[in-house]
Chains A and B, each alone.
Chain A
Amino acid sequence: MIKNLYFSIGSTPSDAADDALMINADLFVSMHPVTATTSIMLFLDRANTGGANTQVTLTHASAMNIDVMEDVAEAMAGEPRDGFIVIADTTGGEFCSPHITGCALTQL
């Protein structure tokens, strides 16, 4: 199954460049804490230039980094029929973890 992960940064409407991103889950490389309230997901470059990675920074409740990582991993292990997996849709208020409150996209 081809899985894709969806993120949006909270713009309303979410209609400007880089307001949202759907990225092939196979491009996911790693995730780690940044601060007590943020963790970052690192993907291979979604523009496929071989350049710097694509980064998604998730904001969450304090000290919940590893809980969020577990929830993200659990979501990615899911097998929805359409392969569409929402990790953090800030605009729509839908998150794969109850601890996530927002996200930021960089290196797009």
Chain B
Amino acid sequence: MRNTNLYFGLTAAASQTFDNEANQVLALTTGGFNNPLPAGEDFITNGGLKVTVVANDPGTGSDNQQFGSAYGTVTTGDTVDITAACTIHASNGEITMATVASDPINGFTINTDTTTDNDAIVVTQLKPYAPAHGIMYNSSKLVGTAVSGGATTALNFVDNAGVLAATDTITVTHGSGLQKTFMEELTDVIADDNRVSGMVVVRDDMRDINLTAQNASAIASVA
């Protein structure tokens, strides 16, 4: 068998909603989005998050929300992904939405006359970037897999802090009574060189990905 590593996405995607937005800057907060805030000016272009808005009275005047040509015909109620209009500060979590005047193709301009119309602008995390968000374990360091509840299985790995008399525990929640099914699915994937190469996602709460598409053990979450 080749080396296989098992990935667990431990947290759901963070999101922060901005209502009554009065300017082109969305200021993420550690309480509203994530602590720490995303860092790096290329965080958005590298797919770290997306920004969407539910269109409200789109048009071409200052009393409308304005969308660049790339978005086609936008009508009220449409959820529009305006990530392409956005850039992020290197460290303070401020996302700037380019206006249509500055970017006629991908830009988005808020309704400047009635800022209370600028609701439901949502920033959603797409990738992990902090220790709590996810972890990848060497499958050979899986030392035990045990039933831990009616619908949970505990995976014990060698302690990654180097403590000999300790283990790291990852708990997978799945369908009731399906512990053996989950264990069989897990070992089947680990053992099959034709199905896996490198990193295997066992469960990713952030991206809602399960071990297999069939998900016979009804995996629901991981912690």
Contact = CB atoms under 8 A, between A and B. Distances in A.
B213 interface: no
Interface of B: 2-5, 7, 36, 38-44, 46-49, 127-131, 133-138, 140-141, 157-162, 164, 168, 197-199
B198 A76 contact: yes
A35 B4 contact: no
A63 interface: yes
11 contacts: A28-B138, A29-B159, A30-B137, A35-B39, A44-B158, A50-B162, A53-B161, A62-B42, A65-B129, A69-B136, A79-B2
Query: Which of the listed residues A36, A51, A53, A77 has the most CB atoms from chain B within 10 Å of its own CB?
Result: A36
A63 B127 CA distance: 7
Contact of B40 (A3, A45, A62, A69): A62
A25 interface: yes
Given A44-B162, A61-B40, 5 more contacts: A30-B135, A30-B138, A33-B133, A53-B162, A75-B198
B162 A33 contact: no
A61 B45 CA distance: 11
Contacts of A53: 160-162
B38 A50 contact: no
Contacts of A73: 3-5, 136, 198-199
Nearest to A42: B160
A73 to B, nearest CB: 4
A74 B130 contact: no
Interface string A74-94: 111101000000000000000
Contacts of B36: 35
A42 B48 CA distance: 24
